[in-house]
A and B are shown apart, each in its own frame.
Chain A
Amino acid sequence: MARYSIWSLARNALSHHQHWPRQWRSPEPKRHYDVIIVGGGGHGLATAYYLAKEHDITNVAVLEKGWLGGGNTGRNTTIVRSNYLWDESAALYELSLKLWEGLSKDLNYNVMLSQRGVLNLAHSLGDVRAGRRRAEANRLNGIDSVWLEPAGVKKIVSIINTSSTLRYPILGSTWQPRGGVARHDAVAWGYARAADARGVDIIQNCEVTGLCRDTAGRITGVETTRGPIAAGKVGIVAAGHTSVLAAMADIRLPIQSHPLQALVSEPIKRVLDCVVMSGAIHVYVSQSDKGELVIGAGIDGYNSYAQRGSFHVLEHQTAALVELFPIFARLRMMRTWGGIVDTCPDASPILSRTPVPGLYINGGWGTGGFKATPGSGFVFAHTIARDEPHPVNAPFSLDRFVTGALIDEHGAAAVAH
């Protein structure tokens, strides 16, 4: 891998950038791989990277039906934080956040992690109770999360409406200074480049259409739009289509797939330096390094696989936005889009072995899996390589839906991005 640095940039500038190498190859699929990862999103690519890096398994292919990073990785609003309520979640997301903090260096690719802090606002006495509880749990779990009174919120974001006349006034907030945002595309590309450099084949425009098993029920490979490919192990990392792929191995998952939309404003000069989230009035917003306000909210209510949603959902979140930030009223929506998110009944992901030997599932991240990309890849690679979960993802196994050991993050944050 040709290393990137200010010097390589300067050198290449002299030759008009004519000599940059490819960031990843575009190989023809081999006949057999030790591990096939289905889905070239951030999680799939990260899994492949850590398989190669941490477990020396390099005969790996990532099969992506479209262009890599074109799923939710390239559609999300990039909020990164680890201040989750339950110990199990806190461990997973904090592992991720720690990996995020070294990711640009590790990948030699600037993923533009920007730890500008995340506010989760409270608008009712119930919210206050839940917010304090989460901040306290975080504190004891060693996560940098504190509870702020409204004056503290105002100090961080002076343009926010802390007036008591707000329909649901701001009564306080949790604050995680190490939270923030990152550049989503760079995460996919950075992992792709680094995985490729370690020998992983990244194969785009290759849709998996079937999972093959031997008579003993063990996975033997996949059917694809580019022909069958044999594999020792297969990991499904296909956000938005997790249950579709699982069904190919006759596994029914407790997953509901929904559209989730987001939008950006036109780029304006800097006005907002942290991430502001409000579960109660349903909107969250940050300002990108290009100057756009990046805005999202909750899912569209119906099930769908079409990557678009309904306009009224955007209207609601925009109404909430201009109440929270009255000075944003005249700004304009420049672009909207949607992705499909797979939601689990307990709003926590599945990182698990399956009843089918050799088949593993990483999915059900719902509206909030981007922040988990590095950690998810790290523990999932472990799970595949060792055929047993890493301690951090052990609680996120499929059998929790049988035992009832759910990790219910709904109560903690109505909007769980």
Chain B
Amino acid sequence: MSDRTQDYRLPAGGLIDRTRRIRFRFNHEWMDGHPGDTLASALLANGIHLVGRSMKYHRPRGILAAGAEDPGALIQRRVTGEPARTDPNWRATQTALVDGLEAESVNVWPSVERDLGAVMGALSPVMGAGFYYKIMQGSRFMWQRVYEPLIRKAAGFGTCPDLPDPDRYEQRHVHCDVLVVGGGPAGLAAARAAARSGARVILADEDERFGGSLLARPRTVEGHAGPEWVASVKAMLKANPEVRLLPRTTVFGYYDGNYLMALERVTDHVSLAEAPAGAPRQRLWHIRAKRVVLATGAHERPLVFGDNDRPGIMLAGAAQEYLHRWAVLPGRDVVVFTTNDRAYEAALDLHTAGATIHAIVDARAEPGPALPAAARAAGIRVVTGYVVAGTTGKTHITGASINKLQADGRAQPHCLETIPCDLLLVSGGLSPVVHLFSQSGGKLRYDTDRLAFVPDRAVQAQASVGACAGTFDLAGCLAEGAAAGAEAARLAGFDPGRGAGEAPACDSEPALGSDSPLWQVRYAKGTEFDWGKPFVDLQNDTTAHDIQQAAREGFESVEHVKRYTLTGFGTDQGKTANINGLGVLAEALGRPMGEAGTTTFRPPYTPVTFAAMAGRDRGDHLDPARLTAIHDRHVAMGAEFEDVGQWKRPWYYPRAGESLHEAVARECQAVREGVGILDASTLGKIDIQGPDAAEFLNRVYTNAWKKLAVGRVRYGLMCREDGMVFDDGTTARIAEDRFLMTTTTGGAAAVMDHLEDYLQTEWPDLRVRLTSVTEQWSTVGIAGPKAGILMARLASGQDLSPESFPFMSWRPAIVAGLHARVFRISFTGELQYEVNVPWHQGGALWDAILRVGVDLGVTPYGTETMHVLRAEKGFIIVGQETDGCQTPLDLGMDWIVSKQKPDFIGKRSLSRSDTARPDRRQLVGLMPKDKRRVVPEGSQIVEPGASRGPKPVPMLGFVTSAYWSPALESGFALALVAGGRARLGVTVSVALPSGEVPAVICDPVMFDKEGARRDGLPAA
């Protein structure tokens, strides 16, 4: 138990609920905070600055900032009693304090105070920029087996959960007229002005509270203290039904067409017990906005000097925010190091709150008029023309050494004094948060007055206002916000009304002097390395020295430097590092700051949970399975299923104790000797209508279609432009101007796309319309010598006998009392009927068939049996006998390629020299010499003995299908073999890892070559 008692919490003030305490754990200690706290504010209230360790050198890391930009205070978030709910790399500054929160330092061992990884610090002299490229290149073995594993072991911050995530995530899609990003003064003013017009407004802010800088600094707007004004605007917006307020929502991506992505943390800020029932953990918003107002504020820049990374070194504005918003004094003995006047206000506020400001060290010779005077008046020592050159301390800062700047802008070699302190505030100026603007495609411009990259022209329907546009004063923010909000509403087609765009009044702020740029403290020649490491990126341990070294080595592009030194590659994506890094680089190259631009700002602004991106597309919804209307019957019969495209198809129907092999043998036998039924509903079906339908088919299939009579059915093969087989199926002529095409199960969507593509782009003159009717018809195939008997029973009173209902035709009929279309086609070689009934009647049809066929031993069969039966007949399956590299001729299907037609898709390609080669791989049958063998599908075929020879072994082809055939009482295969058709009877080898299996090439049609069975067997 800890005896920490929030010693650094002020007795009053702050936007926290002091009536309630929250107990939380940090590493081994339990302590208290209040609702409204972040983990960072609660830790600071308890006097804790040391939170983590850096990536490379394991240097102690504290809390630098108060928001998304903090680089170093990363923790592993845990929840008491919820082992699956743990999150790595959470920023303490953005972690809401909730009951049961247990936070642990990451990347430390055994503890953050005494971390053994810190020995890396001793190696730091050699670990300069890109050091790893220069060593360990001599021996692949040493690198891969020794060094790399060590690096991998050391890398990374937090740990991945080891249990699946129990939480739920949602997604929503919304349209709005005006999206305002950022709920600080500018954003609130914009949202209010836009909302007055009746426009649909969304206001999103990553923080739990709206208000932005108004929560961090004492200001008065329209006569109210900042937080009160915020509350009143919020109340007004809340009362407007057209306004949606999204707190805790980070707009993280700005895409084309004013399409923005946002992540709402719905319940992360409350304990599990408090979470509203049914609420998701997080919600991802897809927002399509007519107009966007970006009011995303600015980040303060730290300063770059020796050992500027110790815990207890904090941005001045962050300290001010901890003070006003959370009533926390981050330190009692304070030194301030600044290049601008704003930090003086922070110093004064801390002074008023009871801290001792030992000195304000200002790098400028001439600070501004008002605030420095006020500081002096308050008795604070102000030293101008000085810098902090270095610091002392280990896991916490203990002192700041100050040096005078020489005339050449470098710090004198010797320090004036080292001022003891427990808090060093730093401020290097403000960097507008231009991330979203930049993502939207907008270009940035370096503003030499404001010393900042600011948005240039907007390229989408968007405006940037307030600090993110480089306007840092409150009056300016409010004015720009209100004007932009009203204008956005107007541009979206609403009347904001007179006065809506007027600036809300605020009390005037003290006049500020100008900032002066200080990208790094430069030291007198020869003393550059005497003051410790000047960090630029606190998370990745990039120093100014690294950047200078990179420049020396020829890395001049900002992107090169980023990559070579890893600046900005961390979980904060360099929010506090990038601009300083650019400044250091500009100085190293002797170029003006800003000339080389910035590195690209990439989404997301802050990290986004994977599960939120997946939303509800989890489990079965990853790709919802398509089920036929008969599916439940298959389940009830104990079918095993196969995924074919998105469909679940019965693979085989094992009876108790039956293996796949036994079940398939039984099913095959039933079809060859009795009657079997197959659920064929999954085949793609396309209704093709229009006066040019026949002409259309004539162009997409390789064979002729014009003369097909109504009532007849034809098999067709489709090629791509390159002449390779693409899909196949039967197509029936329903009427003069109407056909019903069937496709393969997996290929249906691709065929539909293919056909539409040609209709819409190549042949817009054809009067043809396509409709997918796959799910309008349930189809049951009835196959076997006894199929005729069964059919006669099902369609009593109608003559569907093979004699009067010829092969390859179709008829309307009443089957089992249902209106049906019956097709006489066959994929098994047996007498076969395919009965199509309206989708929802599939189950009834199935049941009826089973009922009337009991005495015939009617047997459901699955895809595996179907494959065996069709393979015995040498029928191809597109996607199995083909892989996109077979012409119809390769498959021995020249009979289906019209020589008369002027054109069809792929025709031209068939005559290309390679496509017409005689020694292409051709479809053949393969009989293993040892009849018991069923070789694995996919096996390669070689000349006998070749696989024992040197590699590469020439391959003749491969096995496309292989099964055990009960009818042939042998294993057999289909294969594609080079010049195969000319080699019938030749023995080749199927090369297996275990050795070669000899097999004889044969005709692919192995069963009932004459086709005697397709009209049924003569009555025995």
Interface residues of A (CB under 8 A from B): 4-6, 8-10, 12-14, 16-18, 20-26, 66-67, 69-70, 74, 87, 90-91, 101-102, 104-105, 107-115, 123-126, 128-137, 139-142, 165, 167-168, 183, 185-186, 189-190, 204, 265-271, 273, 281, 287-291, 308, 310-311, 314-316, 318-323, 326-337, 345, 400, 402-406, 408, 410-412
Contacts and interface: CB of A to CB of B under 8 A. Distances in A.
Given A315-B615, A333-B610, A4 B152 contact: no
Contact of A110 (B55, B132, B938): B132
Interface residues of B, number: 112
Contact of A90 (B160, B620, B952): B952
A232 B155 CA distance: 48
Given A112-B132, A311-B261, A404 B164 contact: no
Name the residue in A22, A109, A287, A330 with the highest tally of chain B Cβ atoms < 10 Å from its Cβ: A330
Given A10-B126, A333-B613, A411 B883 contact: yes
B156 A331 contact: no
Given A130-B938, A291-B155, A334-B607, A281 B622 contact: yes
B556 A404 contact: no
A141 B991 CA distance: 12
Given A126-B880, A321-B610, A4 B604 contact: no
A22 B133 contact: no
Name the residue in A269, A271, A288 with the highest tally of chain B Cβ atoms < 10 Å from its Cβ: A269
Nearest to B286: A311
B125 A13 contact: yes
B390 interface: no
Interface string B367-378: 000000000000
B698 interface: no
Given A167-B619, A408-B884, A268 B160 contact: yes
Contact of A323 (B138, B602, B622): B622
Given A167-B619, A326-B165, A329-B614, A110 B133 contact: yes
Contacts of B86: 330
List 10 tightest A-B contacts by C-beta distance, closest first. Answer: A291-B156, A142-B951, A133-B938, A411-B883, A132-B938, A332-B607, A404-B912, A329-B165, A67-B557, A4-B134
A273 B152 CA distance: 9
A107 B134 CA distance: 10
B609 A332 contact: yes
A90 B560 CA distance: 33
Name the residue in A141, A168, A289 with the highest tally of chain B Cβ atoms < 10 Å from its Cβ: A289
Nearest to B566: A290
B41 interface: no
B618 A322 contact: yes
Nearest to B949: A140
Nearest to B911: A404
B514 interface: no
A114 to B, nearest CB: 6
A259 to B, nearest CB: 11
B507 interface: no
Nearest to A25: B554
Interface in B510-556: 528-529, 545, 549, 552-556
Nearest to B617: A319
B30 interface: no
27 contacts: A4-B133, A23-B553, A67-B557, A104-B143, A105-B140, A108-B137, A110-B132, A112-B148, A124-B643, A132-B938, A142-B952, A168-B623, A186-B133, A311-B261, A316-B617, A318-B613, A319-B615, A321-B610, A323-B614, A330-B85, A331-B88, A334-B607, A337-B602, A403-B914, A404-B722, A404-B912, A408-B885
Contacts of A113: 140, 143-144
Given A125-B642, A167-B620, A110 B556 contact: no
Interface in B613-635: 613-615, 617-620, 622-623, 625
Contacts of B914: 400, 403-406
B907 to A, nearest CB: 13
Given A124-B643, A289-B148, A411-B885, A136 B160 contact: no
B322 interface: no
B135 A268 contact: no
B614 A322 contact: yes
B155 A290 contact: yes
A273 B953 CA distance: 32
B144 A410 contact: no
A36 B893 CA distance: 49
Given A134-B938, A136-B938, A403-B912, 19 more contacts: A16-B125, A24-B554, A140-B953, A141-B951, A141-B952, A168-B622, A266-B158, A266-B571, A266-B607, A269-B155, A270-B155, A287-B152, A311-B255, A326-B165, A327-B161, A329-B609, A330-B609, A331-B160, A403-B914
A336 B608 CA distance: 11
A266 to B, nearest CB: 5
B784 to A, nearest CB: 25
Contact of A345 (B126, B143, B602, B722): B722
B162 interface: yes
B602 A330 contact: no
B997 interface: no
B905 to A, nearest CB: 14
B160 A271 contact: yes
A69 B138 CA distance: 24
A107 B137 contact: yes
B611 A333 contact: no
Given A87-B955, A136-B938, A266-B157, A114 B134 contact: no
B452 to A, nearest CB: 23
Contact of B556 (A10, A26, A108, A316): A26
Contacts of A25: 554
B671 interface: no
Contacts of A268: 88-89, 156-160
